[in-house]
Structure 1
Amino acid sequence: MSKLDWHADRGTHPDLALLDLAPESVDIDLAAVRLYRLGRVRAEMNKRDIGAVILSDPINIRYATGTRNMQVFSMRNAPARYLLLTADKSILFEFTGCLHLAEGYETVDEVRPSSTASFVAAGADIEAREKAWAADIGNLIAALVGKGARVGLERLNAGSAIALKAEGFEIVDAQEPVEMARSIKSDEEIKCVIASLRATEAAVADMRAAIRPGITENELWSVLHQSVIARNGDYCETRLLNSGPRSNPWFQESSSHVIGENCLILLDTDVVGCHGYYSDFSRTFHSGPDKPTDDQRTLYKTALEQLHHNMDILKPGLTFREYSDKAWNIPEIYEPNRYYLSAHGCGMTGEYPYLYHHRDFADAGYDGVVEPGMTLCVESYIGATGGREGVKLEQQLLITETGTELLSLFPFEEDLM
């Protein structure tokens, strides 16, 4: 019996079976991944006595169920689809005409059509639509977990939340339980992360091979995006590719700027790759044809020093405050243009926790503990105040029971070291 027939015998939708058969899914038990994640959300809900959550962020819906549908569209048009989750019931409200997409998922008990309570959909009748939505979903929640239950919400428009509270429920923020659930990965999840990284690294290799003076930043970035999609990735979340004088300060998106000779080219992948897992590493390249200058190599080696120092201090049991105190001290000339974080969590997107530089901890930082199962990205941006160019480097790693494991394996540039 083929794997596809095996799924069909058990009622799994053929499209889901095909996803499980994709090359990047070899040796990964995706059903176990989905059930683990669903269990994580329910466990965090239980810790906070939350009877039900309504998830509308498509990333969180995918985390809890494995289902995906027009993710970028759904982010912009929330709530186009949403998930009602209790301790023993998972009901997905799917976009019009799309109910069949969730067939066969062991994480979804029932699929119903969504009712879009948005101004675009309802116009001047928006308030009435929101109240009708709240009454319908409120009756369902009451039947499942009781009237007056504590209900977690995220990314609903304000009128819908107000209307649901008027139905007699205690409304709380669902961000904390979901973020805490997502922060600890299972062994099977890590296989998904690695599959996404290997595909993205192949795409970055394609992009690197296309570098030449005279190509525009947009043309170069499009090579990465095309290659990511060809390998069954979802999308690039940002357009963080810039070159030469546009590389300092950081956060300038790719443009029609023509890449010149002998300049630095900075990339932050920010790829939502296969299985929906984030491939987040940064590299800096040199356009040639000559060798990098001493100034360019100094920037690069300084960024590597910051990166390796901060990777080396990470370990399970380290508090966020301790990390901040031990983190690399940024030289004064580079400090004003520093990256806004020292490190951050990484799963299906950037996530909890954020680890801040020492100088920023008092204003922005919060404490917590680095735990096994977290995947973290360590960041470095080095660009002098008023300098012509900068360097961006970043590595993605796993916190293990005894230390760390490097997950992102794309090489650094020997000519710049």
Structure 2
Amino acid sequence: MAELDWHAERSDLDGLALLDRSPEDEGIDLVAVRAWRQARVRREMAARGIDAVILMDPVNIRYATGARNMQVFSMRNGPARYLVMTADRAILYEFTGALHLPEGLETIDEVRPAVTASFVAAGPQIAERERRWAQDMAATLRDLCGANPCVGIERMNGGTAIALGEAGVRLVDAQEPVEMARAIKSSEEMKCVNASLRATERGVAELRAAIRPGLTEAELWSVLHRSIIAQNGDYVETRLLSAGDRTNPWFQETGSNVIGANDLIALDTDVVGCHGYYSDFSRTFHAGPSRPSAQQRELYRVAHEQVHHNMDILRPGMSFRDYADAAWDIPEKYYANRYYLSAHGCGMTGEYPYLYHRGDFPDAGYDGEILPGMTICVESYIGEDGGREGVKLEQQVLITETGIELLSRFPFEEALLA
């Protein structure tokens, strides 16, 4: 695989595929991408006897239609916009004043104004608002599907769900069909995944070049944000950049900690980038100016070994149980601080499947099959319980008909592998 030029001029960013309404000359058939995704949801609905789904998770709305609007806002303020989809109709209920946004999307048959049935929007009249919302929705569902429809929901406030059930709608959980739909990517969809990764890798390259002792974690992390937004990506989902003794244990959110001389700096990208696709790889850097210590190099070497061992065993048709049994044995001194997963699915967010460590499988694991078209992130966190520093590494791969294809191409640190 050819090496990428991580110091490319700004002009090299030209031609990068951006959002769902990208020009045709960007090289991605976005109509085909949307058609594949919507058909995947409908296929999984039909397999479970679900007549309609009401999708309120903005990521799922985007997956099923390509429509996006205030994605982070919609995750908190709901139901602010929602999608009703049957075997042959898709009606988007869009936020007040934004009904023009999905115009031209061939995946949507009708756009209606949303009614926000939340306490923030309705105040003390919330119960009455929920009741009216549910009665109107039940009438629409009967018009679309007939009497006593089976309707899948994946996110809805409690009062609204209760009112909808009381209005005579038979409710089931839509998480399974939607997650199973999202798990398999088409070849055209993979162009979106790769566009997001290339943009994120440019951002990480800028972040790496900006590293110097004396910066705060937040100042360094902002370099990635600036680059992602400048390339028309969406947002960073977590705050996972830490330095020095804040790299152990993992999951310490980015803050005002000042990066010290020769600190390790660990990053998990978690970028929702171009086309809304999740670019999820992890790297650990060294702040300099001196050579990394023997302990830092050992942590890095072990994490690097774990990731590559677990990548090498992935193959289509493998069960989740067999993967757990064949996965890398975590040395005892690192086991307590292990990452909570061995690997996970990746699409527009982290998604199905979760692949657990062998030791966690009896309590947390479930079985399934690794299939061609899944994109998988292989994880490692290595840090001793009570140790000063730790190393986070992660690679994103595509499961093919014969093995895997590496998707994340950002290089590892030669000085930490020496």
Structure 2 residue ranges without an equivalent (≥5): 1-17
Question: Which residue type is aligned with residue 304 of structure 2?
Answer: L
TM normalised by structure 1 equals 0.95
Identity %: 69
* Local SS of the residue matching 1:303: helix
State the distance in 2 between where 1:140 and 1:254 align. 46
Residue 403 of structure 1 corresponds to which residue in structure 2?
Answer: 403
State the distance in 2 between where 1:227 and 1:266 align. 18
Residue 202 of structure 2 corresponds to which residue in structure 1?
Answer: 202
Q: Is the 8 A contact 1:57 1:78 kept in 2?
A: no
Offset, 1:17: 9.9
Residue 176 of structure 1 corresponds to which residue in structure 2?
Answer: 176
Q: Does 1:333 align with 2:337?
A: no
Q: Is the 8 A contact 2:74 2:80 kept in 1?
A: yes
1:262-281 → structure 2 map (5 Å cutoff)? 262-281=262-281
Residue 246 of structure 1 corresponds to which residue in structure 2?
Answer: 246
State the distance in 2 between where 1:267 and 1:167 align. 48
Offset, 1:82: 0.2
Q: Is the 8 A contact 2:283 2:394 kept in 1?
A: yes
Residue 3 of structure 2 corresponds to which residue in structure 1?
Answer: none
TM normalised by structure 2 equals 0.95
Deviations 1:48-84, CA, capped at 9 Å, x for gaps: 0000000000000000000100000000102110000
* Local SS of the residue matching 1:102: coil
State the distance in 1 between where 2:255 and 2:161 align. 39
1:18-37 → structure 2 map (5 Å cutoff)? 19-21=21-23, 26-37=26-37
Residue 4 of structure 1 corresponds to which residue in structure 2?
Answer: none
Deviations 1:192-233, CA, capped at 9 Å, x for gaps: 000000000000000000000000000000000010000111
Residue 78 of structure 1 corresponds to which residue in structure 2?
Answer: 78
**May I ask how many residue pairs the two structures share in their alignment?**
400
1:2-401 → structure 2 map (5 Å cutoff)? 19-21=21-23, 26-401=26-401
Question: Which residue type is aligned with residue 170 of structure 1?
Answer: R
Deviations 1:2-24, CA, capped at 9 Å, x for gaps: xxxxxxxxxxxxxx9993228xx
Q: Is the 8 A contact 1:78 1:155 kept in 2?
A: no
Q: Is the 8 A contact 2:81 2:93 kept in 1?
A: yes
Q: After alignment, is 155-164 or 177-186 more displaced?
A: 155-164
**4+ residue stretches of structure 1 with deviation over 4 A?**
none
* Local SS of the residue matching 1:338: coil
Task: Call closer, same or farther: CA 1:282–1:38 in 2, change over 3 Å.
Answer: same
State the distance in 1 between where 2:19 and 2:78 align. 28
Deviations 1:277-309, CA, capped at 9 Å, x for gaps: 000000000000000000000000000110001
State the distance in 1 between where 2:103 and 2:314 align. 42
Q: Is the 8 A contact 1:51 1:86 kept in 2?
A: yes
Question: Which residue type is aligned with residue 237 of structure 1?
Answer: E
* Local SS of the residue matching 1:392: strand
* Local SS of the residue matching 2:373: coil
State the distance in 2 between where 1:17 and 1:70 align. 14
Task: Call closer, same or farther: CA 1:284–1:357 in 2, change over 3 Å.
Answer: same
State the distance in 2 between where 1:136 and 1:184 align. 34
CA RMSD of aligned residues (A): 1.1
Task: Call closer, same or farther: CA 1:151–1:18 in 2, change over 3 Å.
Answer: closer
Q: Is the 8 A contact 1:377 1:395 kept in 2?
A: yes
State the distance in 2 between where 1:306 and 1:86 align. 44
Question: Which residue type is aligned with residue 103 of structure 1?
Answer: E
Offset, 1:322: 0.3
Q: Is the 8 A contact 1:291 1:415 kept in 2?
A: yes
State the distance in 2 between where 1:169 and 1:131 align. 13
* Local SS of the residue matching 2:21: helix
Deviations 1:7-45, CA, capped at 9 Å, x for gaps: xxxxxxxxx9993228xx721100100111000000000
Task: Call closer, same or farther: CA 1:240–1:335 in 2, change over 3 Å.
Answer: same
Q: Is the 8 A contact 2:315 2:399 kept in 1?
A: yes
Offset, 1:167: 1.5
* Local SS of the residue matching 1:97: coil
Q: Is the 8 A contact 2:19 2:232 kept in 1?
A: no
Structure 1 residue ranges without an equivalent (≥5): 1-15
